[in-house]
Amino acid sequence: MSNLGITPRATDYSEWYNDLVVKAGLADHSGVRGCMVIKPHGYAIWENMQRALDDMFKATGHVNAYFPLFIPKSYLSREAAHVEGFAKECAVVTHYRLKNDPDGKGVVVDPDSKLEEELIIRPTSETVIWNTYAKWIQSYRDLPLLINQWANVVRWEMRTRLFLRTAEFLWQEGHTAHATWDEAEQEALTMLDAYRRFAEEWMAVPVLTGVKSEGEKFAGADHTYCIEALTQDLRCLQAGTSHHLGQNFAKAFDVKFQTAEGREEYVYATSWGVSTRLIGTLIMAHSDDKGLVCPPRLAPVQVVFVPMGKEEALRAATIEMADRLAGEMRALGIRVHVDKRDKESPGFKFNDWELKGACLRVELGPRDLEAGTCVVARRDTGEKSTLSLEALVAETPGMLETMQKALYDRALEFREANTHRVDTWEEFERMFEGEAGPGFVLAHWDGTTETENAITEKTKATIRCIPLRPLDPGDDAPGACVLTGKPSARRVVFAKAY
Footprint of a copy of itself on 32-51 (CB under 8 A): 32, 35-40, 43-44, 46-47
- Could you say which of 1, 65, 391, 394 contacts a copy of itself (CB under 8 A)? 65
- Could you say which of 66, 182, 409, 449 contacts a copy of itself (CB under 8 A)? 66
Longest dimension (CA), the chain: 83
Shortest approach of a copy of itself to residue 222 CB, angstroms?
23
Which residue number, 274 or 411, has a Cβ lying nearer to a copy of itself? 274
Q: At what angle do helices 40-59 and 181-197 cross, to 10 degrees?
A: 140
Position 83 contacts a copy of itself (CB under 8 A) = yes
Give the separation between CA 266 and CA 256, rounded to whole angstroms: 4
Give the separation between CA 485 and CA 100, rounded to whole angstroms: 67
For 448, the 3-state DSSP assignment is coil
For 451, the 3-state DSSP assignment is helix
| Cβ 183 vs Cβ 204: under 8 Å | no
Q: Which residues pair with 152 in a beta bridge?
A: 170
Give the separation between CA 121 and CA 72, rounded to whole angstroms: 9
Give the separation between CA 270 and CA 337, rounded to whole angstroms: 42
Closest C-alpha among 448, 358, 464, 360 to residue 402: 360
- Could you say which of 67, 171, 414, 425 contacts a copy of itself (CB under 8 A)? 67
Closest C-alpha among 193, 219, 53 to residue 124: 219
Count of residues interacting with a copy of itself (CB under 8 A):
65
Position 105 contacts a copy of itself (CB under 8 A) = yes
Position 120 contacts a copy of itself (CB under 8 A) = yes
Which residue number, 74 or 449, has a Cβ lying nearer to a copy of itself? 74
* DSSP line for 197-235: HIIIIIS----EEEE--TTTS-TT-SEEEEEEEE-TTS-
Position 88 contacts a copy of itself (CB under 8 A) = yes
Position 87 contacts a copy of itself (CB under 8 A) = yes
Q: List, in sequence order, the alpha helices (H) in 267-388.
A: 277-286, 312-331, 346-356, 366-371
- Could you say which of 24, 45, 49, 90 contacts a copy of itself (CB under 8 A)? 90
Which residue number, 36 or 495, has a Cβ lying nearer to a copy of itself? 36
Stretch that binds a copy of itself, among 114-122, 197-205, 291-299, 425-433 (CB under 8 A): 114-122
- Could you say which of 12, 28, 401, 413 contacts a copy of itself (CB under 8 A)? 28
- Could you say which of 11, 14, 55, 97 contacts a copy of itself (CB under 8 A)? 97
Which residue number, 4 or 83, has a Cβ lying nearer to a copy of itself? 83
| Cβ 307 vs Cβ 319: under 8 Å | yes
Rg, the chain, Cα only:
26
Which residue number, 87 or 230, has a Cβ lying nearer to a copy of itself? 87
| Cβ 155 vs Cβ 70: under 8 Å | no
For 354, the 3-state DSSP assignment is helix
Stretch that binds a copy of itself, among 87-95, 219-227, 242-250, 439-447 (CB under 8 A): 87-95
Position 340 contacts a copy of itself (CB under 8 A) = no
Position 248 contacts a copy of itself (CB under 8 A) = no
Stretch that binds a copy of itself, among 105-113, 177-185, 441-449, 456-464 (CB under 8 A): 105-113
Position 63 contacts a copy of itself (CB under 8 A) = yes
Give the separation between CA 1 and CA 9, rounded to whole angstroms: 10
Which residue number, 155 or 361, has a Cβ lying nearer to a copy of itself? 155
Q: Is the dihedral of CA 62, 207, 437, 243 positive or negative?
A: positive
Interacting residue ranges for a copy of itself, rule: CB under 8 A = 28, 30-32, 35-40, 43-44, 46-47, 63-77, 83, 87-99, 105-107, 109, 113, 118-121, 128, 131-132, 135, 141, 147, 151-152, 154, 156, 168, 170, 343
